[in-house]
Every structure is written in C-alpha cells, then in structure tokens.
Structure 1
C-alpha cells in the first residue's frame, strides 16, 4: 500500500500518478511560464488524479477544474488580479483535453476580501499560498505542486500523502464551514464511491471538553 511507504517513495508515486494526467502536466508547464509569485497548482485536480489512478480509472475522469493559486500582496485590487486572469486565459487556450476544462487562477492575498460574503465566515488575510492551501475543508485537499525553474517538482503536502493514496477524506475544520465539507464530499462520493469520508467533528479542532 503506497500510503505506508517511506515519504520519498510516496513522493515518487505521487509524481508518477500525476504525470499520467496529460492535462495537468500541461497546466503545470504553462503556469510555470506565467512567472507568478509563490504559485501552485492545487486542490481537486491533484488528489482526484491520484484517486483515478488508484482505482484504475482514466487519470482525467471527473476533473473539470484546474486551480492555480499564487500570492501577490503588493496589489490586492481586483484589477491587478483580473490582469493576471486574462493573461492566464490566453496561456491556457487550447488545452489538449477530451472535455472542456477550466483553469481558475486566483491571488490568495485577496481571499479575505471576499471569503465571508461567499461562505459566511470571516477569513484572516493569508500570509502565503501555502497558508491558503492549509485552509481547505479537508486535509486530503491540502496539496500543491509547482515546477521550479530547474524543472524540479516542488510538492507542498502539510498532512502527508497517506490519505490521498488510501482514498480517505478527513475534515479540516480550521476555516471552511461544515456545509462546504459535506457538500464537496457528497459530490465526490458519487464519482468515487470507494472513498472513506470521515465525519465532521462535533467540536472545533483543539477544543478540549471541560473538566467540570
């Protein structure tokens, strides 16, 4: 079982699995050419590729969105982000995919400006792209990959890779509300019924019961 291998072997297995998704590899290569600060391709397109490989599906099955995060707090205006989005739209035109896919590019330095309106809870400003990845609703989602100028793959996986390979979805109650987690996991289970989805905790993470 890959999730029980040493970390270096898990990393090699991750790279091997992700490389089977030709769309993902193309997104990584084209994003590297944009010169975005502190960028990662992240979220579903990564762990869902692994799920597909582990369950003997085509690597791109069920994946329609490829998320690119970057961090630039020098200008957090919508105009600055929109300029990057438009440049990315040109860069990602004509992706070689069997079905139409969307590449969504977002500046994580701006998340706190719109998060509460969308999700109903306040979000403190992120200090980095990694901090934004840390806040996903499931720890299994906390995964980012980018290509360094040397061509080396940089992988950010603060919770490790075991759950990703073992098809376990574990809640991460640090920011996103329970409803987000349960909506996402219900959708994922329809596509990947092999998943083991753990319940949202009854109390916030780190909150110990009273001794009184």
Structure 2
C-alpha cells in the first residue's frame, strides 16, 4: 500500500512538473515543433525545464534568467562535428522567430570532445537518456520528449523530482566532477538564492 502511495505521489509530481514546464511558452513551442527536425531520440532537456519550475516557485516569470534551451538527440550513424552543425543550423531556422538560444547536441559524440573541453574523461553514451542521467546535479537530470499527440509529452527524470522541488543541489555520482559541480551549483544559487548546496557525494536516489 505504501509503495502504491509513493508511486501515485511520484506520478502526480511528474504531471505537475510537465504542466509547470509548459507554462514557459518557449518550452511549449519547442516541443510542438521538435518532431519537424526528424531527429532520432530527441529531447528538450535540463535548464529550460527545471529553471522554469524554480522561477514559478520564486514568483518570477517562467522565462526569467534562463540562458538557453538545450536539445539532446542520439545519432550514432554520423559522429562528425559537421553533421551536428547541420542539425544546429536547421534548429536555428526552425526556432528563428523565438527570442531565445536553442542548442542541439548529439549525445553519441559527447565523449569525443568532453575531456578536452571540461578536463574530465567521459564515457561514451548509448542514448539521449544516458546523457540526461549524467548532468552534474541529480535534481537537474530531466528531459521531456514530445510524445504521441494524444498522450502528450513524456518526462524522463531518472532520479525523481523531490530534490528538484526542495531545491537540493548535490554532486551526481554518475558524473563526479566536483569542480564543475561547484561552479554550476553556485551559478544556480546566485539566480535562485533559496537553493541548498550539499557537497557530500551519495546515491542519487
């Protein structure tokens, strides 16, 4: 009975999260148009989603303080930078009327550039969901897929949503790059000062 109650609570929180994320009109527009790009395993992820929720929690406009809107897709057939840039160009054209920055990243090739860019090794991913699981802060590991039209968007939140709503920031054991975590967490707390940074590592669940 308790397990069923916990599941119902998680499902309700998931519905709440998607509903609040879609109060940002740019998130709604991106999800509506995303299928037009024809990208394999494509998701709207991370900041634009959870930061919208934090904005609403803080009494701010849903679009406030959001720096960019990230798209993940997974295309192992072409790992070239040129192919990723071509996708970015198509995304730029598709969302040109929106006053935002949309960045598209092929998760199949992240391991090729991550260490040179960030200074830490990065294991090759097998899907876009794998990429969502590797964000530096577990509560920010969220992604939304457009889903079937009749069913609505699909949420992927591998570590749940409790810590996201509680504002708890801690390192992700799946990506334990502590200097990067600290910089990211401090950046978040400057924008949403009610967030709590907990530096001890632990299980993401």
Q: TM-score, normalised by structure 1?
A: 0.87
SS of the residue 1:123 aligns to: coil
Distance in 2 separating the partners of 1:55 and 1:63:
14
Q: Which consecutive aligned stretches of 4+ in structure 1 deviate over 2 angstroms post-superposition?
A: 173-176
Residue 5 of structure 1: how far off its partner (Å): 7.0
Tell whether 2:90 aligns with 1:87.
yes
Distance in 1 separating the partners of 2:7 and 2:187:
27
**CA RMSD in angstroms, aligned pairs only:** 1.8
Tell whether 2:159 aligns with 1:159.
yes
Distance in 1 separating the partners of 2:77 and 2:161:
33
Matches within 5 A, 1:10-49: 10-49=13-52
2:3 matched to which residue of 1? none
Distance in 1 separating the partners of 2:138 and 2:170:
6
Quick one: which of 63, 66, 79 aligns to 2:66?
63
Tell whether 2:18 aligns with 1:9.
no
Distance in 2 separating the partners of 1:159 and 1:73:
26
Distance in 1 separating the partners of 2:109 and 2:94:
22
Whether the 8 Å CA contact 1:143–1:155 is kept in 2: the answer is yes
Matches within 5 A, 1:111-122: 111-122=110-121
Q: TM-score, normalised by structure 2?
A: 0.90
SS of the residue 2:29 aligns to: helix
1:209 matched to which residue of 2? none
Distance in 2 separating the partners of 1:192 and 1:12:
23
Residue 58 of structure 1: how far off its partner (Å): 0.9
1:169 matched to which residue of 2? 169
Instruction: Say if 1:156 and 1:183 are closer, same or farther in 2 by CA, change over 3 A.
Output: same
Tell whether 2:123 aligns with 1:124.
yes
Judging by fraction of residues, say which structure has more helix: 2
Distance in 1 separating the partners of 2:44 and 2:96:
17
Residue 4 of structure 1: how far off its partner (Å): 10
Provide Cα deviations, 1:157-207, integer angstroms capped at 9, x if missing partner. Answer: 000011111122221032251111111111111110011111143xxx68x
Distance in 2 separating the partners of 1:184 and 1:21:
22
How many pairs does the alignment contain?
A: 197
1:150 matched to which residue of 2? 149
